[in-house]
Amino acid sequence: MRIIKRKKGKKFYYYLKHSFRKDSKVHTREIYLGNKVPRNIRRIKDKLMNDINKDLYKKLESIRKSFHEEWKRVPESAKKKELHNIAISFTYNTNAIEGSTITLEETRELIEDGISPNKPIRDVKETESHYKVFLDMLKEKEKITNNLQLKWHKDIFSETKFDIAGKFRDYLVRVGDYIAPDWQDVKKLMSNLIKFVNQKNINPVELAGRSHFIFESIHPFGDGNGRIGRLLMNYILWHSGYPMIIIEYKKRSSYYKAFKRGEDGFLNYFFRRYLSIHKNRTR
């Protein structure tokens, strides 16, 4: 989705243009904006996406309802075990994406039996801390704030990255060819993200995907951004009544590539992965 400018006579006019694939064909929609870009452009974009994605949103709502019905039937003891298994899988995959050397089986042994693998102590500590933070964040819904994300970061990295744990960065960072925004803009950008995350007029799955992309684009921490961004993504899903999503380490290549396609490109990837993972819950 992009804003284009066209000249007619001596004046310029703006349009919102979006191309999308449906039924193996590429379709294009345009909305006339006027002789300047309106302030409520985000709302206009959201409305356009809602119109285009009606069928998609129906599938997502079906997933939510099916999950809710399934989860309601599960005994409390079984729920606890299921969340424990999800936490182990999520912790392994999210840490592995960031370079942890601990395997899935070692993660399970560490969490369940207290058996520490012969791996760097940093990886061990971050595995233990992440598992705990993940389960804690599922227990109680609270408004998403900068302080909440700073707390997650501090709780995960206080023993391994104590100099940056729980703090927004105050220096430039680069991820491959991508240069993150100036550190002086981080607090403002994160405040804007918080406002976006806490809005009510967007499908929670879309909100989770867009929020994750925006968070990673800001890259507010000196390190650990991927892990906090994926926590935020699942926090939104879980506390909105939707099943969560695990970005698998073995499929990280497509995840990396999706970030290079911009916000809408990443969202398309996110929708596809989410629908694929939860296809058995669509009716």
What confidence tens digit (pLDDT) does each residue in 265-276 have? 999 999 999 999
Judged against a pLDDT cut of 80, whether residue 50 lies above it is answered with no
Exposure b/e, 86-107, CB count within 10 A at least 16 = b:
bbbebbbbbbbbbebebeeebb
Whether the CA torsion 200, 204, 206, 209 is positive or negative: it is positive
With b for 16 or more beta-carbon neighbours within 10 A and e for fewer, the 163-197 pattern comes to ebbbebbeeebeeeeeebeebeebeebbeebbeeb
Q: What is the pLDDT of residue 46?
A: 75
Residue 111 pLDDT: 97
Average pLDDT over residues 65-70: 95
CA dihedral 80, 230, 224, 193 (to 10 degrees): -130
Residues of the chain with CATH 1.10.3290.10: 54-281
Provide the pLDDT confidence category of residue 21 given band limits of 50, 70 and 90: low
Kindly indicate the confidence band of residue 73, based on its pLDDT and cuts at 50, 70 and 90.
Answer: very high
Q: Compute how many other C-beta atoms are within 10 angstroms of the C-beta atom of residue 271.
A: 18
Q: What is the pTM of this model?
A: 0.85
Task: Over range 55-68, report the average pLDDT.
Answer: 93
* Burial track 135-148 (b if 16+ CB lie within 10 A, e otherwise): bebbeeeeebeeeb
Q: What is the pLDDT of residue 9?
A: 85
CB-CB contact of 46 with 202 (8 Å): yes
Cα separation of 230 and 211, whole Å?
Answer: 10
Q: What is the mean pLDDT of residues 67-95?
A: 96
Superfamily of domain 54-281: Fido-like domain (1.10.3290.10)
Higher pLDDT, 156 or 8: 156
Average pLDDT over residues 203-224: 96
Cβ(212)–Cβ(270) below 8 Å:
yes
